[in-house]
């Protein structure tokens, strides 16, 4: 009863590790499927979702909240899927959404850039120089994305439970290490940690339901009671509260909604 | 970043911006631009300036004040109070509307801005707290009457020379009553009725603007010019032109005393409006930053053909209620107004001056805060006196004098209040003897307890001494006195010496002085100055119960022995 997220750069063999791990443990292995699910659930083009969780937000995104909107949809689909337990997720953004959940094993896979270049040249049939350029740009974009949206540096080891360097170990060694770590009690699902995951998933569902009308809405949830901070003028408090209640009432698992209007933010 | 945010306060709310706030601010800005259009023209007329100067002030001043001020919703720009102060200050020095008058108005604005900026940088925002609400209400009501009076000649279509006196103006109007122009009166009355109806039934619509359009149409229908109705001059369709205030030493010397009240009124107005709106929006207002914002806006404004501005209650209220979320709404309002000025300025030459007069009458009426006048009169005689004094001074004397008179009276009453701390007689509660309750006097022949509610400082000492000596006059045997000092927040050297003298005096009367519930800072003063040794460290108690028990155990008064109905439960156990 565990969940593993594997964060990796392109061509770092993270996918291979995830699939082998899932095969051994008998867990489900997921990655891009989440994008498809989110795309279907919220009726949005898949390509926009892919870009939203890959490219760093532009200056224009800051005002339009386009990126936040798609990420909210992706996050809702992702966390809903995680509630099934016993799964391995490899791909983008996973660790960023799960920092608060202790029992999920967050793994970072690092590979030598030369090895990654070789792998990309082999698979994409491009020159080594092109491959190197693409990988460096890709890594930089991922870091910018995470910094801009969550203030997390994907290269900062503090956000992972385990970091494995494939320069010094083979895929099988990495899989074996992860399985060993996963046996520790702290990475076993408990009723409390499952409850935390349920709350986090509910928060994501509520924020996804609101993001079109209130892109800056911030939710918190405890056992179905949702606390929402919505920015807006206090003059419109009644209208906003009614609109929020209408948007959230159909989200599964919501028992009660408390709306708090945030009229301003002044930073000193 | 914190340093940058201090210099450029708009960076504090910059991260709050998003498409939703921008959309809300755009809508509020558009509403504000439409509202300020007639007001700007009207207020410039009140100030004795060409109408376009009101609009220039409504473009530049709010933009700068919003970016450099503290309030998220305050809209600055031309206001009635400042307009009338400018008129009354400068009209004796130059012909209103003349180039000389404009030059003086720009310099006055620059100097007022400098004063405001200095107040802000010197962190004197707290000073405005000493101007009581009653002064503002009285001053505004007086200014409203003056404004309405100044417009009556336009409303009645009477041609008469202006005077410097409110009463002379009325005498002139009454004298010229036979020459009222009925057509001008019809235009003014029609405009006023429309404006009133919109204010009542469609308060969120730009009622003043629509009323002025209707007034213009009435004028056109009646054939305004052929019936002697004066029309406004067309506004120049251009952005605020660059201007240069006269910063020569002579002019500064001449205008500085007149700029000071403009600065003061501007700050009082802006801060009180900002605080009033913040009470609803839950924002904390930084008074000093607001001063800086007002100062910078007036300094910048004086270089762009603007006269002194301040916070406008009407426009700020409308801005907030239109859903504005950040000061960007003021920026948008300025941009929209500039666009309107460029596009529709020439149309103003169809506007009859009586129509403008009708609109100004409504604006003046709206300034009178009937609700607060009623509350003040009902609540406090002192506050009502301040209100009445300021109101009367506004009508009779120069406006700046009215403000000073109100402020001085407020300060006098405040000082008088602090110099007369309440001294309360206490006795044990018959239902709960451990508690003390306030009651006129006690039947105990030897021991008195009082509580002093206020600081013991040089100004209050006399009042307290008088009270303490009056005890001996009426009840000479009550020589033992306990002062419950929990209400004394501060003791200065004069207060401490008074306590020592009182202790000595009471000992000479075969009694003593005791203190209980003394606050730490007050105790520190007594300790540091050595006063505690003279009073006696064992005469200071932490609680009333402890003090009463200790004091009564030491009192050996012959009257206590024959006392049949002891007031204190401690006396019941005595032999």
The verdict on a CB contact (< 8 Å) between A268 and B18 is no
pLDDT in tens, A149-204: 677 777 888 888 888 888 888 889 999 999 999 888 888 888 888 889 899 999 99
Kindly list the residues from chain B whose CB atom is less than 8 angstroms away from the CB atom of residue A263: 281-283, 325
Whether residue A155 is found in the same domain as residue A54: yes
Whether residue A178 is found in the same domain as residue A248: no
Low-confidence ranges of chain B (pLDDT < 70): 1, 128-130, 161-164, 203-204, 399-400, 433-434, 441-443, 474-477, 558-559, 561, 564, 572-575
Sign, CA dihedral B17-B20-B25-B30, equals positive
Give the chain B residue whose CA is nearest to the CA of A267: B12
Q: β-strands A105-110, A162-165: how paired?
A: parallel
Kindly list the residues from chain A whose CB atom is less than 8 angstroms away from the CB atom of residue B317: none
Structural domain boundaries, residue A119: 3-187
- pLDDT attached to residue B516: 92
For an interface test with A, give the residue of B18, B25, B69, B288 to mutate (most A CBs within 10 A). B18
Q: What is the CATH number of the domain that holds A109?
A: 3.40.50.300
The verdict on a CB contact (< 8 Å) between B17 and A63 is yes
In a domain, A203, yes or no: no
Q: What residues form DSSP beta bridges with A261? A: A230
Domain tally, chain A: 2
Helix (H) or strand (E) holding B483: strand B480-484
The verdict on a CB contact (< 8 Å) between A266 and B283 is yes
Q: Are A254 and A226 in contact (CB under 8 A)?
A: yes
How buried is B565 (Cβ within 10 angstroms: 0-12 exposed, 13-18 middle, 19+ buried)?
exposed
Q: Give the nearest partner residue to A264 out of B11, B18, B325, using CB atoms.
A: B325
SS3 A111: coil
CA angle B91, B93, B96 (to 5 degrees): 40
* Residue B527 vs residues A141, B512, B535: alpha-carbon distances, Å: 67, 19, 10
Helix (H) or strand (E) holding B472: helix B458-474
Q: Give the nearest partner residue to B321 out of A214, A216, A235, using CB atoms.
A: A235
Whether residue A183 is found in the same domain as residue A132: yes
Whether residue A244 is found in the same domain as residue A151: no
CA distance B200 to chain A (A): 20
Residues 6 or more apart in contact with residue B209 via CB below 8 angstroms: B34, B35, B37, B38
**pLDDT > 90? residue A90:** no
Cα B43 to Cα B57: distance, rounded to the nearest angstrom: 10
Q: Are A208 and A42 in contact (CB under 8 A)?
A: yes
- pLDDT attached to residue B560: 72
CA distance B75 to chain A (A): 16
Interface of A with B (CB under 8 A): 62-65, 214-216, 231-236, 263-268
CA distance A68 to chain B (A): 12
Q: Give the nearest partner residue to A63 out of B2, B19, B325, using CB atoms.
A: B19
Whether residue A176 is found in the same domain as residue A253: no
Whether residue A24 is found in the same domain as residue A107: yes
Give the chain B residue whose CA is nearest to the CA of A212: B20
Kindly list the residues from chain A whose CB atom is less than 8 angstroms away from the CB atom of residue B15: 265, 267
In a domain, A268, yes or no: no
Give the chain A residue whose CA is nearest to the CA of B320: A235
CA distance A90 to chain B (A): 33
Residue B374 has phi, psi (to 5 degrees) of -60, -45
The verdict on a CB contact (< 8 Å) between A264 and B326 is yes
Helix (H) or strand (E) holding A109: strand A105-110
Q: Are B17 and A231 in contact (CB under 8 A)?
A: no
Whether residue A40 is found in the same domain as residue A154: yes
Model confidence at A255, pLDDT cuts 50, 70, 90, reads very high
Model confidence at A243, pLDDT cuts 50, 70, 90, reads very high
Q: What residues form DSSP beta bridges with B427? A: B437
Interface of B with A (CB under 8 A): 2, 5, 11-13, 15-22, 24, 72, 280-284, 320-321, 323-326
- pLDDT attached to residue A67: 74
DSSP B529-560: TTHHHHH-GGGEESSHHHHHHHHHHH---HHH
Please identify, among A121, A153, A187, the residue that sits at the C-terminal boundary of a domain: A187
The verdict on a CB contact (< 8 Å) between B16 and A231 is yes
Cα A193 to Cα B560: distance, rounded to the nearest angstrom: 75
Kindly list the residues from chain B whose CB atom is less than 8 angstroms away from the CB atom of residue A236: 323
Whether residue A232 is found in the same domain as residue A129: no
Q: What is the CATH number of the domain that holds A235?
A: 3.30.70
Give the chain B residue whose CA is nearest to the CA of A216: B18
The verdict on a CB contact (< 8 Å) between B282 and A234 is yes
- pLDDT attached to residue B441: 66
- pLDDT attached to residue A98: 80
The verdict on a CB contact (< 8 Å) between A265 and B16 is yes
Whether residue A131 is found in the same domain as residue A183: yes
Q: What residues form DSSP beta bridges with A262? A: A231
Whether residue A221 is found in the same domain as residue A169: no
- pLDDT attached to residue B164: 64
- pLDDT attached to residue A63: 65
In a domain, A208, yes or no: no
The verdict on a CB contact (< 8 Å) between A268 and B5 is yes
CA distance A65 to chain B (A): 8
Kindly list the residues from chain B whose CB atom is less than 8 angstroms away from the CB atom of residue A264: 13, 16, 72, 281, 283, 325-326
DSSP B215-238: HHHHHHHHTTGGGT--BPPPPP-S
- pLDDT attached to residue B575: 54
In a domain, A201, yes or no: no
In a domain, A34, yes or no: yes
Q: Give the nearest partner residue to B280 out of A215, A234, A268, using CB atoms.
A: A234
CB pairs below 8 Å between A and B: how many? 63
Q: What is the mean pLDDT of chain A?
A: 84
Q: Are A228 and A244 in contact (CB under 8 A)?
A: yes
3-state secondary structure B291-316: HHHHHHHHHHHHCCCCCCCEECHHHH
Please report, rounded to a whole number, the percentage of residues in chain A having pLDDT higher than 90.
18
Whether residue A118 is found in the same domain as residue A248: no
- pLDDT attached to residue B503: 92
CA distance B327 to chain A (A): 11
DSSP B237-293: -SPPPP------HHHHHHHHHHHHHHHHHHHHHHHHHHHHHHHHHTPPP-HHHHHHH
Q: Are B410 and B134 in contact (CB under 8 A)?
A: yes
Cα A149 to Cα A166: distance, rounded to the nearest angstrom: 28
Q: Are A13 and A2 in contact (CB under 8 A)?
A: no
Whether residue A107 is found in the same domain as residue A62: yes
Give the chain A residue whose CA is nearest to the CA of B318: A235
The verdict on a CB contact (< 8 Å) between B323 and A233 is yes
Q: Which domains does chain B have, with CATH numbers?
A: 20-368 (no CATH), 422-572 (3.30.750.24)
For an interface test with A, give the residue of B1, B11, B15, B19 to mutate (most A CBs within 10 A). B19
In a domain, A207, yes or no: no
pLDDT in tens, A28-84: 888 877 777 877 777 778 787 777 767 777 766 666 677 778 888 888 888 888 887
Q: Are B85 and B400 in contact (CB under 8 A)?
A: yes
**pLDDT > 90? residue A263:** no
In a domain, A199, yes or no: no
In a domain, A147, yes or no: yes
CA distance A215 to chain B (A): 8
């Amino acid at each position: 009863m565990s969940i593993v997220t594997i964060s990796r750069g392109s061509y770092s063999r993270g996918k291979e590790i995830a699939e082998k791990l899932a095969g051994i443990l008998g867990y489900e292995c997921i990655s891009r499927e989440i994008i498809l699910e989110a795309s279907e659930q919220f009726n949005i083009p898949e390509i926009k979702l892919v870009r939203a969780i890959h490219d760093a937000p532009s200056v224009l995104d800051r005002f339009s909240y386009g990126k936040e909107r798609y990420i909210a949809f992706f996050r809702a689909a992702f966390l809903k899927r995680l509630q099934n337990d016993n799964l391995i997720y490899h791909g983008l953004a996973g660790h960023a959404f799960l920092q608060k959940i202790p029992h999920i094993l967050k793994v970072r896979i690092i590979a030598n850039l030369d090895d990654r270049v070789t792998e990309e040249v082999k698979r994409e049939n491009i020159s080594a120089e092109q491959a190197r350029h693409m990988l460096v740009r890709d890594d930089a974009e991922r870091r910018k994305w995470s910094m801009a949206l969550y203030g997390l540096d994907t290269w900062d080891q503090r956000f992972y439970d385990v970091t494995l360097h494939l320069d010094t170990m083979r895929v099988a060694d990495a899989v074996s290490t992860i399985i060993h770590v996963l046996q520790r009690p702290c990475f076993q699902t408990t009723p409390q940690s499952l409850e935390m995951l349920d709350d986090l998933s509910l928060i994501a569902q509520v924020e996804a339901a609101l993001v079109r009308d209130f892109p800056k809405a911030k939710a918190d949830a405890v056992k179905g009671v949702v606390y929402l901070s919505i920015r807006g003028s206090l003059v419109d408090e009644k209208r906003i509260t009614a609109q929020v209640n209408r948007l959230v009432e159909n989200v599964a698992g919501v028992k009660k909604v408390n709306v708090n209007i945030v009229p301003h933010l002044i930073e000193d | 970043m914190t340093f940058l945010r201090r210099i450029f306060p708009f960076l504090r709310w910059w991260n709050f911006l998003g498409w939703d706030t921008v959309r809300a601010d755009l809508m509020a800005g558009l509403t504000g631009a439409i509202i300020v259009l007639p007001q700007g023209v009207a207020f410039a007329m009140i100030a004795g300036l060409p109408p376009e100067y009101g609009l220039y002030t409504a473009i530049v001043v709010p933009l700068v004040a919003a970016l450099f001020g503290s309030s998220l919703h305050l809209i600055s720009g031309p206001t009635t109070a400042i307009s009338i102060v400018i008129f009354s200050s400068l009209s004796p020095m130059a012909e209103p509307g003349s180039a000389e008058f404009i030059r003086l108005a720009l310099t006055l604005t620059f100097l007022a801005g400098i004063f405001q900026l200095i107040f802000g940088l010197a962190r004197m925002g707290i000073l405005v707290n000493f101007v009581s609400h009653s002064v503002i209400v009285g001053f505004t009501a007086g200014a409203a009457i003056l404004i309405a009076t100044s417009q009556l000649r336009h409303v009645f279509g009477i041609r008469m020379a202006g005077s410097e006196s409110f009463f002379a103006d009325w005498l002139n109007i009454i004298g010229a009553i036979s020459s009222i122009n009925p057509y001008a009166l019809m235009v003014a009355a029609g405009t006023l009725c429309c404006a009133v109806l919109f204010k009542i039934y469609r308060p969120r619509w730009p009622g003043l603007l629509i009323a002025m359009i209707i007034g213009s149409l009435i004028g056109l229908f009646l054939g305004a010019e052929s019936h002697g109705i004066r029309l406004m001059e067309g506004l120049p369709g251009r952005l605020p032109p660059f201007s240069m205030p006269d910063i020569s030493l002579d002019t500064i010397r001449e205008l500085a005393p007149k700029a000071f009240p403009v600065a003061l009124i501007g700050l009082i107005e802006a801060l009180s409006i900002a605080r009033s709106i913040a009470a609803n929006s839950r924002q904390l207002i930084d008074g000093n930053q607001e001063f800086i914002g007002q100062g910078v806006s007036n300094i910048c404004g004086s270089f762009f053909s603007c006269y002194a501005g301040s916070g406008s209650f009407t426009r700020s209220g409308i801005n907030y209620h239109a859903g504005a979320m950040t000061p960007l709404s003021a920026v948008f309002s300025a941009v929209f107004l500039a666009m309107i000025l460029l596009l529709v300025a020439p149309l103003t030459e169809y506007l009859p001056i009586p129509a403008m007069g009708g609109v100004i009458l409504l604006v003046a009426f709206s300034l009178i805060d009937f609700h607060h006048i009623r509350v003040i009169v009902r609540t406090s005689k002192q506050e009502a006196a301040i209100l009445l004094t300021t109101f009367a001074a506004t009508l009779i004397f120069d406006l700046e004098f009215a403000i000073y008179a109100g402020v001085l009276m407020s300060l006098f009453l405040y000082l008088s209040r602090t110099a007369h701390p309440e001294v309360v007689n206490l006795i044990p509660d018959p239902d709960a003897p451990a508690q003390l309750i306030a009651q006129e006097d006690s039947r105990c022949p030897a021991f008195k307890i009082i509580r002093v509610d206020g600081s013991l400082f040089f100004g209050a000492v006399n009042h307290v001494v008088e009270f303490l000596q009056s005890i001996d006059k009426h009840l000479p045997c009550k020589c033992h006195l306990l002062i419950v000092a929990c209400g004394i927040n501060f003791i200065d050297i004069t207060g401490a010496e008074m306590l020592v003298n009182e202790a000595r005096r009471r000992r000479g009367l075969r009694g003593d002085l005791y203190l209980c519930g003394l606050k730490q800072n007050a105790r520190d003063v007594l300790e540091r100055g050595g006063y505690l040794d003279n009073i006696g460290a064992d005469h200071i108690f932490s609680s009333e119960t402890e003090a009463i028990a200790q004091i009564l155990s030491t009192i050996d008064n012959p009257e206590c022995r024959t006392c049949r109905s002891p007031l204190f439960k401690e006396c019941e156990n005595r032999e």
